[in-house]
Chain A
Amino acid sequence: MEKLKLEIVTPDGLVYSGEVDEVTATGSEGEFGVLPGHAPFLTTLKIGMLIARKGNEVIYFFINTGYAEVGPDKVVVLADSAERAEDIDVERAKAAMKRAEERLKKREEIDFARAESALERATTRIQIAERRIVR
């Protein structure tokens, strides 16, 4: 059975590198799945989840915007930051969510977009972290 080589790279180093069977990620134009033998493909990624399946094992990642380069036997993800679901600091994400919500309530806030993306990051992190427990 052919495998995909998945690499998740961030400015702070390699988050994951290994052989997997299937990758599902959140592209800016929608979710997409990659199996071995995929056509060469380049896309930007939104804040979202990346799922890697390796046999029966499923690994969840949080991806904070970036892009993905897909080849027939490899997926390279370059993200601003990324972490495995079990490494997500839920407490910190919840605190960040609260902060972002408060900032959004104050309408006069200039940096609206920034607060909004902070909120999105936090909620996505929490969702992914919960997914790992429910599974």
Chain B
Amino acid sequence: MPTLRDLRRKIKAIQNTKKITKTMRMVAAAKLRKVQDRMLNFRHYAMSMESVLFDLSKVGERELHPLLAVRPRKTVEVLVLTSDRGLCGGFNTNILTSASRHIDSLRKEGFELSISVVGRKARDFFKRRNIPMRKSWVGLSGRITYANAQEISGDLIENYINETLDEVVIIYNEFKSVVLQKVTIARLLPIGEIETEVTQVEKGSIAVDFLYEPSPEILFERLLPKHIEIQVFRALLESSAAEEAARMSAMERASNNCDELIAKITLQANKVRQASITKELMDIVGGAEALKA
């Protein structure tokens, strides 16, 4: 039977834990809002860029650009995006299990594999399993910049062009809503069809009488790497929004569990207190009875 003091100490400790989880939830919520703003800001840029690329892809003859060329697949690169820090529920576990499953199935199909990671959690995961990584970027989460996306995509493009890699696949958590994150596996390279979110009618109206400087072909080729950058940056933003959302709900659950525990232990403490009062009363009554006799 625990003493009253022990129980009171326990309640105190859980109350402190709750303070922490509650604060972390609020911090995550604030960060999520910030990332969501950035996603919104970026959409404007991404959409204009993609619509220009789309228009250009329709104009004029062009040689097949190396980034568009489909080669026989030999080496497949898997780029895994996780967070740097934990305490965000199943966020990293989900990604890493799907990633290893995907890697295993690719290996069974007989492809050479190359793995790159973003985030400390993924790096540690593969290091622990002694799986070599081609490249790892850590310390980005929380303050992703477009320059990060440029660095990562620049590296991928370089390795794709000099044929170290024949295909690049990216695995990340997509931010569906505050309560839902979805593991997404997408192909980055070679570039497939370029799609835009702009409607068909708008698309047709732009391309016609444009002056291009330099020629549309060169322009198109220069803008292709942008397409990769945009996708990488979008994935990075999605992933960090999903991370904060996952952390938010994990901390929410933790705070609720704290409440539950506090209620349970308070009940127990009251019982112990009541029992000791009853015992004391019995002693006094017993003593009084003994004196009377």
Interface of A toward B, CB cutoff 8 Å: 9-14, 27-29, 39-44, 67, 69, 76, 78, 80-81
Contacts and interface: CB of A to CB of B under 8 A. Distances in A.
Interface of B: 38, 41-42, 44-46, 48-49, 52, 145-146, 149-150, 206, 209-214, 216, 219, 222-223, 230, 233
B287 to A, nearest CB: 79
Contacts of A14: 41, 44
Contacts of A10: 45, 146
What 3 A-B pairs are tightest by C-beta distance, nearest first?
A13-B41, A11-B146, A43-B213
A42 B209 CA distance: 11
Contacts of B150: 80
Contacts of B146: 10-12, 80-81
Contacts of A76: 48
Nearest to A30: B213
Interface of B is mostly: helix
A39 B211 contact: yes
B48 A27 contact: no
Interface of A is mostly: strand
A44 B214 contact: yes
A25 to B, nearest CB: 12
B169 to A, nearest CB: 23
Contacts of A41: 210-213
Contacts of B42: 11-13
A94 B141 CA distance: 28
Contacts of B216: 42
A39 B208 CA distance: 12
A13 B45 CA distance: 8
Given A39-B209, A42-B210, A42-B212, 8 more contacts: A10-B146, A11-B41, A12-B41, A12-B42, A28-B213, A39-B211, A42-B216, A44-B219
